[in-house]
Amino acid sequence: MLLSIAFILLGFVLLIFGANWLVDGSSALARKRGVSDLVIGLTIVSFGTSAPELVVNLIASLDGHSDIVYGNVVGSNNFNLFFILGIAGLIYPITVQRSTVWQEIPMSLAAAAVLLSLSNNFFLGGALSLSRLDGFVLLLLFAAFLWYVFRQMRAEAPPVETVAGDQPTTLKITFLILFGLAGLVFGGKLVVDHAISIATNLGVSEKIIGLTIIAAGTSLPELVTSAVAALKKNSDIAIGNVVGSNIFNVLFIIAVSATVNPIGYNASFNREIYLLIGGTLVLFVAMFSGGHRRLDRWEAGLLLLVYIAYTGWQIAQEV
């Protein structure tokens, strides 16, 4: 038990340093290549911080642990939306670009709705599961999302020229991103593996482990990355990381898991997916409060309170 706690603490250290390096490297890359911080947050950062979820889900899918697969993805998305945005918004109010309000947030909402529909077989009927065909459908939607992101990259105007001395070298940027991603992946894996070991010894169900400990553990990269971005007052990385990760989790990670091995679906997860859909709708509506596209501190605090209350209720149900 003490050794597991030590490894978890080591994982936290790797996550903190990894997130700092990744945010610095990604922001520098955005400025150097004429790509916005939002696009970098939606692609490189969100993919990198979602890597722990991918590793955990592939292992769980191959071993037939369906509740871990769904709990990890749905739980991570709720953790991202309610907890991470709540923490980041409390640190510094998050100003959101128009494209995020009208395009990326609705895409995240649509992805959750598609997952709910495919998992419950609303249209075809039959056993509740996510088949290989469903996985391919989600991957096609993911390809469409990537096409949208790269189309947005090409449409962006080039940035204002800066003095060469103000920019880090390409080699330094590459090392920052690579070491940042490595720190996030290895740190996340250390935290998750040893948190699972502790939870299993305490006799907690796979569903609750997936929705809470694994979901929070694999989302620690997103948490630290968005918190660091908020401290640096980089709203685009903070919001792009969360929204991008939520889209990645549904359209890529659970899709790959299903193509590797069809996933049985526990209908009790509907409640968590409805929470995710409802929370995304609340985020969308919050963008219009006060006549500005910003997540204020009181709205962020509300998201955080909802997550804490709901998680507490879930754990109480298990006791």
What are the tens digits of pLDDT across the range 262-307?
Answer: 999 999 999 999 999 999 999 888 877 665 778 888 999 999 999 9
CATH code given to domain 2-157+167-318: 1.20.1420.30
Which distant-in-sequence residues (6+ apart) come within 8 Å of 160 by Cβ?
none
CA distance 174 to 142: 26
Placement of tokens 């991008």 in the chain: 244
pTM over 0.85: no
Q: What's the CA angle centered on 295, arms 45 and 315, to 5 degrees? A: 75
Q: So where are the chain's domains?
A: 2-157+167-318
Per-residue pLDDT of the chain (319 residues; tens, 9 = 90+): 788 888 888 987 887 788 778 778 877 877 777 777 667 766 776 676 677 777 778 888 888 888 888 998 999 999 999 999 999 999 988 887 776 677 888 999 999 999 999 999 887 767 788 999 999 999 999 999 888 877 876 765 555 444 445 677 888 888 988 898 888 778 877 877 787 787 778 777 778 888 888 888 778 877 888 888 888 888 777 887 788 889 989 999 999 999 999 999 999 999 999 999 999 999 888 877 665 778 888 999 999 999 999 999 988 887 6
Among 274, 242, 315, 286, which Cα is nearest to 74's? Answer: 274
DSSP assignment of 107-128: HHHHHHHHHHHHHHTTTT-SSS
Q: How many helices (H) and strands (E) does the chain have?
A: 16, 4
